[in-house]
Amino acid sequence: MGLAIAYNSPRQPDAPIYPPYLRYWVHYRSRILYAPVALATYLHFAIPSPACMTTPFQTLIQLAEPFLPSWGWLVTAATTVGTLVAAYFLLTYHLAKRAWRLKFKGSRISVFEPQLKRLRHAGSLLAVDLVGHGESEVSSEWEPYTTPSLLDDLDEVINQHPGRRLVLIGHSYGSCLAVKLYPRVRDRVAGMVLIAAGDVTHSPHVTRLLRAPEVIIDLFRMLDRYGGTESTSVRRMIYTAGASSALLDQQLYWNESSRTSVFRRTMLGMDWLHTEDLRAVACPLLLLPGEFDPVHPVSCSYAIRECVATKRVTIVVAHQAAHQVMLEKPELTNTEILRFVGEDCGYPELAD
């Protein structure tokens, strides 16, 4: 029997954990200089028309228009100056730390460390770093990051180990890949475990921001991470109440070290779950959602249960957990996986 784990992980090696104030300066010292210009540029292109301005400002332009050859330069100047001033206050007082809800997901194979240590005695483990993550090479092309290309990579790796029964385990986007991979290896799959999985209605929020220059995305990521271990970026992944400081520090480091270029290509190349993908799943299924997961709430798991073809579906909610269920509740995750493999996948010797 084999366990195939598909998950994203950033390529950077471990680094020392700095205090929040020092980490902020070390990581962003080279970005603070261009941040106001980046924000001004983005907002200028996002608001190309004076129709978005307030009524008094529209009136001012209308009064001045007969005396000007074109008001376009005035709009450009006003937008740029205004956003530069706004950027100054954003960076000085950080008023915008809750203004954006961007989902910057990313982790490393070490997020499965509690499972790898516990489950290695249950069977052979195959942990996969996708392109641009972990020890895999970073490609500057777009095609390798598309979902079909990632599925081809996973299929190729699994086929290097023929004759083994598989339990597919995925987390977040890895759950999407596991479901889409299932039809290719259907005859070998004994079961599937989906941790913090999203349903067809919870595809990642991809906006035109991801098509902006990387410096713009870096700016928004910087704002999203302000606050250190209490930032929105960490609270999105970890239920901070009761979480250890070591876990919060590690999650913040993962968020900081993930490559914007890789994240951007992965998100824009993503083909999220469709109803027909879920309807094809006929193997036993274990769903492990986090009680306070803001990315893929518990309702996603119940929606998945209603879509899949199999009736052998078990849902176990991890209480006091957010998106990183396997890190926040490792004992629960390990126990439920072993129980599932033993009772539902036909290996009773592992259920004890």
The predicted-structure confidence for 307-349, as pLDDT tens digits, reads as follows: 999 999 999 999 999 999 999 999 999 999 999 999 999 877 6
Within a domain: residue 223? no
Within a domain: residue 162? yes
Helix (H) or strand (E) holding 236: none
Within a domain: residue 112? yes
Residue 289, pLDDT score: 98
Query: How do the residues of the chain divide into helix, strand and coil, expressed in percent and rounded to 5?
Result: 50, 10, 40
Within a domain: residue 232? no
Q: Is the pTM of this model over 0.85?
A: no
Within a domain: residue 259? no
- Read out DSSP for 155-177? HHHHHTSTT--EEEEEETHHHHH
Residue 231, pLDDT score: 92
Question: Average pLDDT of 5-34?
Answer: 40
Question: Average pLDDT of 297-303?
Answer: 96
Question: Average pLDDT of 84-92?
Answer: 43
CB 265 within 8 A of CB 143: no
Across-strand partners of 124? 2
Q: Residue for token digits 């290695």?
A: 120
pLDDT for 185 beyond 90: yes
CB 182 within 8 A of CB 283: yes
Q: Which two tokens stand for residue 109?
A: 């194979």
Residue 351, pLDDT score: 60
Q: Reading across the β-sheet that carries 313-315, which strands appear in turn?
A: 124-129, 2-7, 166-171, 189-195, 285-288, 313-315
Residue 114, pLDDT score: 82
Question: Average pLDDT of 170-180?
Answer: 94
Could you tell me whether strands 2-7 and 124-129 are parallel, antiparallel, or unpaired per DSSP bridges? Answer: parallel
Average pLDDT taken over every residue of the chain = 75
CB 13 within 8 A of CB 257: no
- Domains in the chain, number: 1
108-122, 179-193, 235-249, 332-346 — which is least confidently predicted?
A: 108-122
How far does the chain reach from its first CA to its final CA, in angstroms?
A: 17
pLDDT for 221 beyond 60: yes
pLDDT for 146 beyond 90: yes
Residue 100, pLDDT score: 29
Q: Which two tokens stand for residue 275?
A: 């109803």
Domain that holds residue 149: 2-13+102-204+266-344
Residue 277, pLDDT score: 97
Within a domain: residue 216? no
CB 298 within 8 A of CB 181: no
Here the CATH number for the domain that contains residue 335 is 3.40.50.1820
Within a domain: residue 113? yes
Neighbours of 13 (CB within 10 A): 7
Alpha-helical (H) ranges within the chain are: 20-28, 35-46, 55-64, 72-93, 113-119, 147-159, 173-181, 214-225, 232-235, 245-257, 260-268, 275-279, 298-307, 325-328, 330-343
Within a domain: residue 209? no
Residue 296, pLDDT score: 95
Alpha-helical (H) ranges within 236-329 are: 245-257, 260-268, 275-279, 298-307, 325-328
Question: Average pLDDT of 133-137?
Answer: 78
Label residues 51-67 b or e (16+ Cβ within 10 Å = b). eebeeeeeeebeeeeee
Q: Which two tokens stand for residue 116?
A: 């790898």
Question: Average pLDDT of 63-72?
Answer: 49
Question: Average pLDDT of 89-109?
Answer: 37
